Amino acid sequence: MECLEKKVSLAHRPILTRKQFLDSYCTNRRALHGAEVLDQYNVFDDFTQTGEECIAYNSKKLPAITLLGLYSHFSGFLGAAESNYDGYYSRFFASLGRKQEKNPLLLDYFNQQLGLTFLGEQRKNTFSLHGSNYARLLYLLSFSASLEPNFKQRNTKNERGALLPSYLTGLVNEYSAFNEREQRLALRYIRDILAVFVNTKASTEIADSTIRLNLPSHRRESIIRTEAEFLMKSFELAYPSLNLTQDNLHISSRENHNKAEYNGYITIDAVRIYKTSSINSLFPLRVYIVPAPFFSFQSINKSSGSVMASQESIN
């Protein structure tokens, strides 16, 4: 009777091995040099059943690495260039996007956890020190990248139908099959997905106290619906009291350079936000009440001069 392979818990399920990272280089010398930084920060801190070093869901650095990938997906950029005839890419680069320089806590977190620094606002927070190593890692984790052999014309996220990698989408798709401990671990990553989505895509200047969360545009309706359904399901799992329905999802199309382009957004009203944020401190949206005092003297018709007259009578 054959021995059945022991089921691996979600926490120790391998996502990427150190060998896979090394194999992405064209020479062993470059591979070992590239892995130095990741080894210094203990990125590959788990093991597969066969004893290979790997990144797993329980890896201490995976949350920080995942945040990098999420920002590159929703607001920044990830690219690879200069491929050779064997299919190896020698240059990798990425950015967080325009707005993240306003969050020094986030940038400090990446520096402390990964030793990663960023170029300034004009460069949209491009990965700097050790940036190529982590951009390569995001590519190997299957975050969508613009592949630019020999610096030919870039292909955009819109054009290539960029979606989040399966190691994240699988957490939502398989959630009901996880045990309680695995669900808690899955929710950590699901909440981070939503936090970055809200941070990069929220539009607060909406009438009737409604927040609009803009979806990335796509050339195919099926792509934008896939991402929208994933995000709606993520909200349902992480914050069930939000009670989002299909009425909160809005998708439309328009012509852009004689090609159809699909745009969409999710709306959440102030009542739902207030209810959810009041019972869950991790919810990434808040409704702020701004003091707007109205005093009795403001109701006096200033044009009548009664304000001045009343002041004179007091004096």
Q: Tens-of-pLDDT digits for all 315 residues of the chain?
A: 344 446 789 999 999 999 999 999 988 888 998 899 999 999 999 999 999 999 999 999 999 999 999 999 999 999 988 766 566 788 899 999 876 656 788 999 999 999 999 987 666 889 999 999 999 999 999 999 988 754 445 578 887 888 999 999 999 999 999 999 999 999 999 999 999 999 999 886 555 678 899 998 888 899 999 999 999 999 999 999 999 999 999 999 887 767 788 999 999 998 999 999 999 999 999 887 777 787 777 776 554 444 444 444 444
Determine, yes or no, domain membership for 146: yes
Q: Based on the fold, state whether residues 140 and 192 are members of the same structural domain.
A: no
- 114 by Cβ neighbours in 10 Å (0-12 / 13-18 / 19+) ranks as buried
Q: Based on the fold, state whether residues 227 and 273 are members of the same structural domain.
A: yes
- Residue 248 in tokens: 């909160």
- Tell me what pLDDT residue 1 has: 34
Determine, yes or no, domain membership for 53: yes
d(CA 134, CA 65): 8
Determine, yes or no, domain membership for 1: no
Q: Based on the fold, state whether residues 262 and 191 are members of the same structural domain.
A: yes
The number of folded domains in the chain is: 2
Q: Based on the fold, state whether residues 68 and 120 are members of the same structural domain.
A: yes
Q: Based on the fold, state whether residues 140 and 200 are members of the same structural domain.
A: no
Q: Based on the fold, state whether residues 38 and 140 are members of the same structural domain.
A: yes
Q: Based on the fold, state whether residues 36 and 150 are members of the same structural domain.
A: yes
- Its pTM stands at 0.86
d(CA 132, CA 128): 8
- Residue 95 in tokens: 């950015």
Is the distance from CB of 93 to CB of 133 less than 8 angstroms? no
Determine, yes or no, domain membership for 245: yes
- Tell me what pLDDT residue 254 has: 83
Q: Based on the fold, state whether residues 211 and 252 are members of the same structural domain.
A: yes
Looking at 120, 155, 190, the residue that finishes a domain is: 155
- Single-letter amino acid, residue 36: E
Q: What is the distance in angstroms between the CA of the first residue and the CA of the last residue of the chain?
A: 104
Determine, yes or no, domain membership for 128: yes
Q: Based on the fold, state whether residues 210 and 172 are members of the same structural domain.
A: yes
Residue 84 — φ and ψ, nearest 5°? -105, -175
Q: Based on the fold, state whether residues 112 and 21 are members of the same structural domain.
A: yes
Determine, yes or no, domain membership for 309: no
Q: Based on the fold, state whether residues 57 and 109 are members of the same structural domain.
A: yes
Is the distance from CB of 135 to CB of 114 less than 8 angstroms? no
Looking at 155, 179, 197, the residue that finishes a domain is: 155
Which residues have a Cβ under 8 Å from the Cβ of 153 and sit 6 or more positions away? none
- Tell me what pLDDT residue 207 has: 58
Which of 72, 93, 82, 81 is closest to 135 using CA atoms?
Answer: 93
What domain range is 196 assigned to?
167-279
Determine, yes or no, domain membership for 308: no
- Tell me what pLDDT residue 91 has: 85
Radius of gyration of the chain (CA): 25
Strand partners, 259: 256
HSE at residue 230, side-chain half, CA atoms within 13 A, is 24
Looking at 98, 128, 155, the residue that finishes a domain is: 155
Determine, yes or no, domain membership for 249: yes
Q: Based on the fold, state whether residues 35 and 148 are members of the same structural domain.
A: yes
- Tell me what pLDDT residue 122 has: 63
d(CA 54, CA 75): 28
d(CA 225, CA 64): 27
Using the Cα atoms of residue 35, residue 36, residue 42 and residue 46 in order, give the sign of their dihedral.
Answer: positive
Element (H, E) at 55: strand 53-56
State the maximum Cα–Cα separation within the chain, in Å, rounded to a whole number: 105
- Tell me what pLDDT residue 300 has: 62
d(CA 195, CA 282): 9
